[in-house]
A and B are shown apart, each in its own frame.
Chain A
Amino acid sequence: KQEVTQIPAALSVPEGENLVLNCSFTDSAIYNLQWFRQDPGKGLTSLLLIQSSQREQTSGRLNASLDKSSGRSTLYIAASQPGDSATYLCALHRNFNKFYFGSGTKLNVKP
Chain B
Amino acid sequence: NAGVMQNPRHLVRRRGQEARLRCSPMKGHSHVYWYRQLPEEGLKFMVYLQKENIIDESGMPKERFSAEFPKEGPSILRIQQVVRGDSAAYFCASSVGLAGSSYNEQFFGPGTRLTVL
Contact = CB atoms under 8 A, between A and B. Distances in A.
Interface of A: 4, 6, 31-32, 34, 36, 41-46, 49, 51, 89, 91, 93, 95-104
Contacts of B18: none
Given A51-B102, A93-B100, A97-B98, A104 B42 contact: yes
Interface residues of B, number: 28
A42 B99 contact: no
Contacts of A101: 35, 42-44
Nearest to A50: B102
Nearest to A89: B42
Given A4-B42, A97-B48, A42 B110 contact: yes
Give the 6 A-B CB pairs with smallest separation, nearest first: A101-B42, A31-B100, A43-B110, A98-B45, A97-B48, A44-B108
Given A42-B110, A43-B91, A98 B101 contact: no
